[in-house]
Structure 1
Amino acid sequence: MCKRFKKKGEILMRSSRVPGFFKLSVAERLNFFTNECKFNEEEKRLLLGLTPFPIKIADSMIENTVGLMPIPLGIATNFKINGEDRFIPMATEEPSVVAAASNAAKTAYEKGGFFTSLSGSIMRGQIQVLDIADPYSAMARIYEKKAEILKRCNAKDPTLVSLGGGAIDIEVNVIKTSNQSMLILHLLVDTRDAMGANAVNTMAEAVAPFIETITSGRVALRIISNLADRRIARARAVFSAKQLGGIEVVKNIVNAFEFAEFDPYRAVTHNKGIMNGISAVVLATGNDTRAVEAGAHAYASISGQYRSLTKWEINADGDLAGSIELPMAVGIVGGATKSHPVARLALKILDIHTAEELAGSIAAVGLAQNLAAMRALATEGIQKGHMALHARNLAMMAGANENEIDQIVQQAVKEQDVRYDRILELTKQLQKGVVNGK
């Protein structure tokens, strides 16, 4: 558990505010978290890549393993979530994502930070039943056998039941396609602190023969749904109009949101920016990025039109109020969250103890990421900050040494010419001693 605190009266609280954190070297940042989270030497070596990720673990996670592809792990600062300061681990290859989230969180900090909630931890397992002569009567027969269906499901995972979870209800629908009528049974399973795919799929497969007996039909698919509409994470925050640049900037942000809310071409890029932050935290903690992304985009379309996952408005004080709502099927037990050593360290950095806390933290990051993108769009444009960070990648591609990169980036930004051919030219000039007239 992380232990750095600040004093407020007689109350000791953890602080995520670390001025100048981005200016520190990698070693200095790691030393900070070594003290913050009490990392041991082996944990430090893991984060630095000095202890290689065990290839045996990699081979057990996927098939046909031939090697590893490391992704940078950064820390977003300034997050206050439900009154608790948190450091947010983010695994991403895209420049500006971590910095943008940190800056947006800083703007919300003095207004109380982010407040979050989770609707529950229920996932859906779907069982598709075909070739039924009387689907509506079969639906009624399934409901009559609900208690037995739930009993058979829960017998497959007594550990989950002992933790207060398990199959708790069913829903049954008849779908009429262009070719046939099919009956779809939903198993509603409380997966608690797990994402729950393995538990739900096991239950669906186990109960399938019993469903065939009840319906006199043929069970085809038995699989979890990633549209986790009974596991909705919500986050809200207020951002100071003054810190954002004034009321005109706030109005432009609201206008940008309304554009995304009613135009799917804008909404898809708007939501992609949200997922830049969300997917980075999901990946860092060993959760399923594809499941969360699919659920988010499906939820954005649930009204019949693809819309924004966030809402933005001006409150009575003239400040910007934002909120986000999306499915968040993540866990802190099982799968890569436990098998991947760096994912375990990411959870240690977050200092969370339930899947609910993790889901809320991820939603808060999505809201912060969206604010940062829209603020940039409403002011200088998205490219200025993004390309300045991207210039570092270009400088490395151009063959710049580590001690040359900063000077090349500064010159490219000064010229407002962050293109690879110009970066390459600057690199060659520096290595010949002619950048800035030298």
Structure 2
Amino acid sequence: MHSLIKGFSRLSREDKVALLLEQQELAPQLAESFQEFLHPVKQHLFNDISENIISNYYLPFSIAPNFLINDHLYMIPMVIEESSVVAAASKAAGFWAKNGGFSTRVIDTLKNGQIHFTWNGNIQSLASVKHEILELITTTTDHITQKMRERGGGIVDIEFKTIANMLNTHQALIKFKTADSMGANFINTCLETIAPHLMDFINKHPQLKSEDKATTIMCILSNYTPQCLIECSVRCDVEQLKPYAGNYSAIEFADRFKTAVEIAVNDPYRAVTHNKGIFNGIDAVVLATGNDFRAIEAGAQAYAAQSGTYSSLTTIEINDKQFTYTLKVPLALGTVGGLTNTHPMAKAAMQILQQPTAEQLMQIVAAAGLANNFGAVASLVTSGIQKGHMKLHLSNVLNALEATETEKTLALKHFKDTVVSYSVVEQFLNQLRK
């Protein structure tokens, strides 16, 4: 058994690598790979992003063109390792650009922070003094919220709830608007400033009598933001869907598509994969713009299960031969602060998107999610998902099998009209190499 490592973070990068190779008994050549992917000029920026950095991990930075969103044409940056995602997004964007584009609507931008506390008083009694509490928390955070208020944000409301199945355990759920900032640091700072004043208020107010004092447990923002909500729709006459219908008529395709979506609405097993197709697009743009895709995923997945059963984030209607497909999803995004302003490629992504506001970025991200999901469902109900997916994956398979340029050229020609799988490509290369 190896001994525990002390002081690893204080070592130089070179010493970290040397210790890693020694401790894990790795080949010395691995150090060359780490060195190869260091940035020759801006490595200092990457060194400040995380801890114990020994190299950088590269992912493709791609562009999906022709996104017509609320009559504005975008070229959308996407960071993702799956080539079929960018291809599907681009194809769907081009199709919908010719058929009215994506219509989006920001429903609200409220975000949540929680102060959890213990108290054996009547939680309902706090509602009777809510006006006083709101005045207290806005006053105590005035110095923190001033600039945010100037940008249209700040503290909006507060409500009190008891934590289910936990005796005398409650939360102050505080609503925020954070303008163009994602707002995590702002919200957490406000919460930690408010908490001691709020506990003192509860403990001293004559209308809030209890046997024990109110005591803070923790203060933290919530990544569940069901009121930071965006709606994105596409619509057209059913007959216009013919380019996606394959061997089916347009109306047959539309009916099959509707059935597939309704399965995702009613079956959690299908809903998870259905929503994953949405997040192929969402995560790729969120990552490209330096936003927190883990927070977005967690909040949206909770939203998908708000009824008590996990379900599709999309809904569909076909009325009077009019096809309407809609995505509704919470997206707590920022366009200032964090990696958005420090990571060089995140800054480039924001420039490509013409420096959108947070609300505009919500709309762009939602459109990317809906485009990818539309493409995935369309493939499923016509040719199947593997034909197009593996065709685009062919280059990755060839690289994994260390194909030469000549072999790649022959393989691309051979598999032009053939279903691709790893084993089939491997057999083809083995035949060539005999």
TM-score of Structure 1 vs Structure 2, range by shorter chain: 0.7 to 0.9
- Please state if 1:209 is matched with 2:196: yes
Distance in 1, matches of 2:151 and 2:318, equals 43
Q: 1:250 aligns with which of 231, 254, 257?
A: 254
What is the match of residue 219 of structure 1?
Answer: 216
Q: 2:71 aligns with which of 70, 83, 92?
A: 83
Closer, same or farther in 2 for the Cα pair 1:140/1:63, shift >3 Å? farther
Alignment check: 8 A CA contact 1:192 1:355 kept: yes
Q: How many residues align?
A: 381
- Please state if 1:333 is matched with 2:333: no
Closer, same or farther in 2 for the Cα pair 1:320/1:53, shift >3 Å? farther
Closer, same or farther in 2 for the Cα pair 1:126/1:92, shift >3 Å? same
Alignment check: 8 A CA contact 1:261 1:307 kept: yes
What is the match of residue 424 of structure 1?
Answer: 426
Closer, same or farther in 2 for the Cα pair 1:53/1:81, shift >3 Å? farther
Distance in 2, matches of 1:154 and 1:242, equals 58
Closer, same or farther in 2 for the Cα pair 1:431/1:152, shift >3 Å? farther
Alignment check: 8 A CA contact 2:92 2:374 kept: yes
Distance in 2, matches of 1:144 and 1:406, equals 74
Closer, same or farther in 2 for the Cα pair 1:319/1:409, shift >3 Å? farther
Alignment check: 8 A CA contact 1:399 1:427 kept: no
- Please state if 1:229 is matched with 2:226: yes
Q: 2:318 aligns with which of 314, 319, 325?
A: 314
What is the match of residue 35 of structure 1?
Answer: none
Q: 2:184 aligns with which of 173, 186, 197?
A: 197
What is the match of residue 391 of structure 2?
Answer: 388
Closer, same or farther in 2 for the Cα pair 1:269/1:154, shift >3 Å? farther
- Aligned to 1:172, the other structure's residue is in SS state strand
1:57 CA drift (Å): 1.9
**What percentage of residue pairs aligned between the two structures are identical?**
39
Closer, same or farther in 2 for the Cα pair 1:257/1:166, shift >3 Å? same
- Aligned to 2:327, the other structure's residue is in SS state strand
1:122 CA drift (Å): 2.1
Cα deviation, 1:121-175, whole Å, max 9, x if unaligned, reads 3211111111333333345445432112122234223221221211122122223
1:188 CA drift (Å): 1.2
Alignment check: 8 A CA contact 1:142 1:214 kept: no
- Please state if 1:366 is matched with 2:353: no
Q: 1:185 aligns with which of 152, 169, 172?
A: 172
Q: 1:294 aligns with which of 280, 293, 298?
A: 298
Closer, same or farther in 2 for the Cα pair 1:190/1:392, shift >3 Å? same
1:241 CA drift (Å): 2.4
Cα deviation, 1:186-209, whole Å, max 9, x if unaligned, reads 121110001111100110111110
Closer, same or farther in 2 for the Cα pair 1:102/1:409, shift >3 Å? same
- Aligned to 2:417, the other structure's residue is in SS state helix
Alignment check: 8 A CA contact 1:150 1:168 kept: no
Alignment check: 8 A CA contact 1:395 1:409 kept: no
Closer, same or farther in 2 for the Cα pair 1:53/1:347, shift >3 Å? farther
What is the match of residue 23 of structure 1?
Answer: none
Closer, same or farther in 2 for the Cα pair 1:384/1:52, shift >3 Å? farther
Q: 1:71 aligns with which of 59, 64, 82?
A: 59
Cα deviation, 1:19-65, whole Å, max 9, x if unaligned, reads xxxxxxxxxxxxxxxxxxxxxxxxxxxxxx99657332222211121
Alignment check: 8 A CA contact 2:123 2:161 kept: no
Closer, same or farther in 2 for the Cα pair 1:52/1:327, shift >3 Å? farther
Distance in 1, matches of 2:67 and 2:158, equals 38
What is the match of residue 10 of structure 2?
Answer: none
Which is further off, 238-247 or 356-365? 238-247
Alignment check: 8 A CA contact 2:233 2:327 kept: yes
Rg: which structure is higher?
Answer: 2
Q: 1:411 aligns with which of 403, 410, 414?
A: 414
What is the match of residue 11 of structure 2?
Answer: none
**Superposed CA RMSD:** 1.9
The aligned amino acid for 1:120 is: D
1:214 CA drift (Å): 2.0
What is the match of residue 111 of structure 1?
Answer: 99
1:420 CA drift (Å): 2.5
Distance in 2, matches of 1:174 and 1:119, equals 27
- Please state if 1:324 is matched with 2:327: yes
Alignment check: 8 A CA contact 2:115 2:219 kept: yes
1:225 CA drift (Å): 0.9
- Please state if 1:152 is matched with 2:140: yes
- Aligned to 2:59, the other structure's residue is in SS state coil
- Please state if 1:398 is matched with 2:401: yes
What is the match of residue 133 of structure 1?
Answer: 121
The aligned amino acid for 2:270 is: R
What is the match of residue 280 of structure 1?
Answer: 284
Distance in 1, matches of 2:152 and 2:93, equals 34
What is the match of residue 59 of structure 1?
Answer: 47
Distance in 1, matches of 2:42 and 2:322, equals 49
1:319 CA drift (Å): 4.0
Alignment check: 8 A CA contact 1:150 1:169 kept: no
Distance in 1, matches of 2:274 and 2:432, equals 39
Distance in 1, matches of 2:142 and 2:94, equals 45
Cα deviation, 1:69-95, whole Å, max 9, x if unaligned, reads 011111112210000110011100112
Q: 2:348 aligns with which of 331, 345, 349?
A: 345
What is the match of residue 207 of structure 2?
Answer: none
- Aligned to 2:83, the other structure's residue is in SS state coil
- Aligned to 1:120, the other structure's residue is in SS state strand
Structure 1 unaligned spans of 5+: 1-48, 433-438
